[in-house]
Amino acid sequence: MSTIHLTMAQALIGFLKNQYVERDGVQMPFFAGILGIFGHGNVAGIGQALQQNPDFRYIMVRNEQAAVHIASGYAKMKNRMQTFACTSSIGPGATNMVTGAALATINRLPVLLLPGDIFARRNVAPVLQQLESPNTQDISVNDCFKPVSRYWDRISRPDQLLTALPEVMRVLTSPADTGAVTLALPQDVQTEAYDYPEELFTKRVWRIHRPLADRSRLQDAVQLIKSAKRPMIVSGGGVLFSEACDALDRFTRQTGIPVGETQAGKGSLVYDHPACLGAIGATGTLAANRIALKADLVIGIGTRYSDFTTASKTIFQNPNVRFVNINLFEMDAYKHFGVPITADAKVTLEELTEALKGYAVSADYAAEIQLLKAEWEKETDRLYNLNHQPLPGQSEVIGAIWQEAGPKDVMMSAAGSQPGDLHKLWRAKTPNSYHMEYGYSCMGYEIPASIGVKMADPSREVFVWVGDGTYLMNPTEIVTAIQEGIKVIVIVVNNHGFGSIGSLSASIGSSGFGTRFKQRDAQSGQLNGEPLSIDFAANAASLGAQVFSPDSITAFKDALKQARALDRTSVIVVETDREVKVPGYDSWWDVAIAETSTMPEVQAARKDYEEHRKTEKYYL
């Protein structure tokens, strides 16, 4: 067997360059490159190896957490068919990536993390940034990645790559098991050489198969659908990952079964599709939520039924409701004692379409669906055009962006009040034109992830919507976008604090305590003094962005047009009235309220909470 004498880091990069994936006959490299920051824990190993491999793209980021967000945004936009690796030094560089790892694993997005680690040979310990333990020498801060990774390993000898790397690729390319994969790389081992077999560096294709449904369970699903009087579909992110949108379109046009979309599944049908009722759940539309209330069969496709999707188990109130769950992840397929179909969404929808030829929902149910859909479209138009003075409401800003966006352009966000309003109001025109990270709802995801989204499909404009609180958490990747020549349009909504949690605080009787950007008042001792003066535009300009500061909704629309015409990243800062809300539409979210309090507002909120709790159900 021929061998090549390489350092462990050189062998790792050589292997990553030659990994390919294939689905439906389409083949592509799995790794688009590597993101990261060099420090003493990776510069001599991974850093040197990358310098020796200029054909494997390296992108310098400003924060290691942001690197993982970029990779996650890219992987999501690529329907998990491509991703980036992320490298860091040991210590804080590594632990900065833990939040990103949790986000990737919760959202089931493939990301490879390569944190530097302490010396494997130990004789010079404790090295800089090493966490010492009195109980063991076999621990480092990289052990923090274990609970948030789908696969974790530490490479303590260079030859261990030969057994670790196949497991890495098995997990990363698995539609069911994917998420963050962590290889902790001791900094000394990165630089140690070994005679690696040449076969390790040959092109390897990982085929992503489409598992078929068990025949008996598929037949059970067909019978349940035929016997249901008010069936509905909950379309999750698995529909998009499977590229099953066309199959869902055909299935719903044939059967007339309506669709409610999760945050991850929004855009699986275009907004004006006759079966599309829009968002479902705690942030759902009046149309989807009212249909869900009486649904006797719920067909969940690629959804994990989060509390927002089920409105904390209150949205499906039919006492005889049953579930059919189509999901590659077995745990999700078995939820709510549904008929578990552990299979690919696309091929399962195609088989159901064939098996249900001649079946359609009743004329009365179809008419009800269309009436509710028309009512919701009218409500959306109203919210897009409030003409609220002197400051616009957030829904008007959404309407303005939607009117400016092209059919393929991407609207993205992750945390704050924006995801709820966008889930209700954004009208997706094509698949993957709505990008919401809501599995982890991670503040600070938006700007770095938008870089990944844009790199995944440069033909699309990417609109990034962040609140002022979120912007302050992680604006620095604007510098990365400028450095790499990547254009995104960032909209910063200035509502003077944490608007979403402020509203939640008010709803539980706490009056928005600690959620506004105000100075501490000398007399009260609380943060209820004068408003802070924060110049978001000046901050963004200092990072290299083109900046717009419109003072009206008309000026905001003009700023959007100007930003589109640019070839560089821009930031638009727009002030909104945080008290102008989008209604809840028959939905609820369980946030526990203090059972005892001296505050009358909290007492009243608790009483209302207990009434809502009575509507929560076990789906047995």
The whole-number pLDDT of residue 330 equals 96
Fold of 3-207: Rossmann fold (3.40.50)
Q: Give the side-chain half-sphere CA count within 13 A for 16.
A: 30
Per-residue model confidence as pLDDT tens digits over 22-61: 999 999 999 999 999 999 999 999 999 999 999 999 999 9
Residues 6 or more apart whose CB falls under 8 angstroms from that of 253 comprise: 274, 275
pLDDT the model gives residue 337: 95
CB 179 within 8 A of CB 149: yes
How confident is the prediction for the chain on average, in pLDDT?
96
pLDDT at 501 over 90: no
Containing 548, the helix (H) or strand (E) segment is strand 546-548
Cα 24–Cα 29–Cα 34 angle in degrees, nearest 5: 140
C-alpha closest to that of 423 among 260, 313, 560, 532: 260
Count CA atoms within 13 Å of residue 602 on its CB side: 12
Give the pLDDT score at 19: 98
CATH topology of domain 215-374: Rossmann fold (3.40.50)
Closest by CA to 444, choosing from 33, 74, 38, 103, is 103
- Prior bond of 390 cis (ω within 30°): yes
Question: Which range is least confidently modeled, 133-137, 199-203, 359-363, 494-498?
Answer: 494-498
For residue range 532-563, what is the model confidence (pLDDT) as tens digits? 999 999 999 999 999 999 999 999 999 999 99
Least trusted range by pLDDT, from 358-367, 493-502, 571-580: 493-502
Q: At what angle do helices 446-456 and 64-77 cross, to 10 degrees?
A: 40
On the question of pLDDT at 346 being above 90, the answer is: yes
User: One-letter amino acid identity for 432?
Assistant: N
pLDDT digits (tens, 9 = 90+) for 194-216: 999 999 999 999 999 999 999 99
CB 392 within 8 A of CB 421: no
Q: Which long-range contacts (CB under 8 A, 24 or more apart) does 329-333 make?
A: 329/108, 329/176, 329/177, 329/304, 330/176, 332/300, 332/303, 332/304, 332/305
Quick check: do 3-207 and 385-496+532-575 share a fold? yes
Work out the percent of the chain whose per-residue pLDDT is above 70. Answer: 100
Q: Residue 574: pLDDT band by 50, 70, 90 thresholds? A: very high
Residue 503 has what pLDDT? 81
Look at residue 322 in the predicted model and tell me its pLDDT. 98
Map out the domains of the chain as residue ranges: 3-207, 215-374, 385-496+532-575
Distances in Å between the Cα of 114 and the Cα atoms of 80, 83, 157, 227, 249 are: 19, 14, 15, 52, 40
d(CA 561, CA 563): 5
pLDDT of residue 512: 82
- In this prediction, residues 516-520 reach a mean pLDDT of 91
Domain 385-496+532-575 has CATH 3.40.50.970: yes
pLDDT at 507 over 90: no
Which amino acid would we find at residue 298? V
pLDDT at res. 579: 86
Average pLDDT over residues 104-119: 98
Task: For 417-467, write each residue's pLDDT tens digit.
Answer: 889 999 999 999 999 999 999 999 999 999 999 999 999 999 999 999 999
pLDDT-based confidence at 1, cuts 50/70/90? confident
pLDDT-derived band at 504, boundaries 50, 70, 90: confident
